[in-house]
């Protein structure tokens, strides 16, 4: 299906990352302006690979006229500031993401501080939580603040000389996920919303709106709603941010929703012996991985607990310093 995309003037550039997910896919749309969708993390290695990919198509970084960021994760937006300062590209992202991308360091610190509170409230040992908070200070450098020239409103159209891209809001994996749909060519550029080889995590993140009331977000519930909307999308291929393109997206969405239902049912069984914290549940499932990958495993467990809570099968006890969950 990459041949279909290339015939439509959309070319994949594979950029390395230091993260467990592996390489990230950036997509060059040969149109006017020359457009890049996502750009990789803020590292010299990634920049060199991206420049090599552009050169293979006969372009330089300075030739890119528009960079579109699909969401806020650092493997997709880290190099945006290079395009904003070295080249002449306009930077575009979801309208609600604009102030966050423009002041990434402040947002990232707030996000990391909130993650520390989440770990503490859900039973992670204090020394582990504090150590991971310190690691976050290092990881933050793979992202960077960038000027943003254009906020994209969900439902609007991004017009290039030879095509139009509809902007669809698909939160869940992050609060800022967008999908760009080229209806004429029946192709969508999906970021990490729907990936062929792996199930995207619904990662706990601070909401984008400044009037957040502090209640824990429910990203898996938002993600399920987004997936159901994507199942109705009339396209032949979705170009994902990692791995190979998605074909047969309706069947894949059905599989992903069914997998989530199975995980929720399995998690419910782990509450048979009484109330447990989210971290206790995560440790019972993944063992030491629930320590080395605390926030991802907490996001996974809390997401499926939220699904069970929404169905009236689980209750959440917030009366003590550490939150526990029990069968309803």
pLDDT digits (tens, 9 = 90+) for 131-168: 999 999 889 999 999 999 999 999 999 999 999 999 99
Q: How many CA atoms lie within 13 A of 309 on its CB side?
A: 15
In tens, the pLDDT along 232-259 reads 999 999 999 999 999 999 999 999 999 9
Residue 113: band (very low, low, confident or very high) from pLDDT cuts 50, 70, 90:
very high
Fold of the domain spanning 2-102+144-245: Metallo-beta-lactamase; Chain A (3.60.15)
Mean pLDDT, rounded, for 207-217: 88
For the cut 80, the answer to whether the pLDDT of residue 87 exceeds it is no
For the cut 80, the answer to whether the pLDDT of residue 271 exceeds it is yes
pLDDT of residue 273: 93
User: Is the pTM here over 0.85, yes or no?
Assistant: yes
For the cut 90, the answer to whether the pLDDT of residue 212 exceeds it is no
Mean pLDDT, rounded, for 188-196: 98
Q: How many CA atoms lie within 13 A of 179 on its CB side?
A: 29
Q: How many helices (H) and strands (E) does the chain have?
A: 12, 13
pLDDT of residue 214: 85
pLDDT of residue 192: 98
pLDDT of residue 38: 98
Q: How many CA atoms lie within 13 A of 71 on its CB side?
A: 27
Residue 88: band (very low, low, confident or very high) from pLDDT cuts 50, 70, 90:
confident
Round the average pLDDT of the chain to a whole number and report it. Answer: 96
Lowest mean pLDDT of 66-70, 71-75, 139-143, 178-182, name the range: 139-143
Residue 1: band (very low, low, confident or very high) from pLDDT cuts 50, 70, 90:
confident
CB burial class (10 A; 0-12, 13-18, 19+) of residue 196?
Answer: middle
pLDDT above 70: percentage of residues in the chain? 100
Residue 173: band (very low, low, confident or very high) from pLDDT cuts 50, 70, 90:
very high
pLDDT of residue 258: 98
Residue 211: band (very low, low, confident or very high) from pLDDT cuts 50, 70, 90:
confident
The residue among 327, 194, 170 whose CA lies nearest residue 257 is: 194
Mean pLDDT, rounded, for 37-65: 97
In the three-class reduction of DSSP (H, G, I as helix; E, B as strand; rest coil), residue 191 is classed as strand
Residue 34: band (very low, low, confident or very high) from pLDDT cuts 50, 70, 90:
very high
The secondary element (H helix, E strand) that includes residue 165 is strand 164-169
- Is 322:122 a contact under the CB 8 Å cutoff? yes
Mean pLDDT, rounded, for 29-35: 98
Return the structure tokens found at 242.
């990692």
Mean pLDDT, rounded, for 120-133: 94
């Amino acid at each position: 299906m990459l041949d279909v995309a290339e015939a439509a003037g959309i070319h994949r550039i594979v950029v390395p990352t230091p993260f467990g997910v592996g390489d990230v896919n950036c997509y060059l749309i040969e149109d006017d302006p020359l457009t890049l969708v996502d750009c990789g993390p803020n590292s010299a290695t990634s920049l060199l690979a991206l420049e090599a990919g552009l050169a293979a198509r006969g372009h330089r970084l300075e030739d890119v006229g528009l960079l579109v960021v699909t969401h806020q994760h650092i493997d997709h937006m880290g190099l945006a500031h290079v395009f904003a300062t070295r080249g002449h590209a306009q930077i575009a992202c979801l309208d609600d993401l604009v102030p966050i991308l423009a002041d990434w360091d402040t947002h990232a610190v707030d996000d990391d501080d909130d993650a520390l509170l989440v770990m503490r409230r859900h039973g992670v040992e204090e020394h582990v939580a504090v150590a991971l908070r310190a690691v976050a200070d290092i990881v933050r450098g793979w992202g960077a603040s960038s000027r943003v020239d254009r906020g994209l409103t969900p439902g609007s159209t991004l017009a290039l000389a030879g095509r139009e891209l509809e902007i669809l809001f698909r939160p869940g994996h992050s609060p800022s996920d967008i999908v760009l749909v080229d209806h004429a060519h029946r192709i969508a550029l999906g970021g990490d919303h729907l990936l062929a080889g792996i199930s995207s995590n619904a990662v706990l993140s601070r909401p984008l709106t400044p009037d957040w009331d502090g209640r824990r977000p429910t990203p898996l519930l938002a993600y399920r709603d987004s997936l159901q909307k994507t199942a109705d999308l009339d396209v032949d291929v979705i170009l994902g941010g990692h791995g190979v393109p998605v074909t047969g997206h309706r069947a894949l969405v059905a599989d992903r929703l069914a997998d989530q239902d199975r995980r929720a049912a399995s998690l419910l069984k782990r509450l048979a012996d009484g109330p447990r914290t989210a971290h206790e549940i995560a440790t019972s499932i993944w063992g030491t991985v629930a320590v080395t990958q605390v926030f991802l495993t907490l996001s996974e467990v809390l997401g499926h607990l939220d699904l069970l809570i929404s169905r009236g099968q689980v209750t959440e006890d917030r009366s003590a310093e550490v939150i526990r969950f029990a069968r309803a």
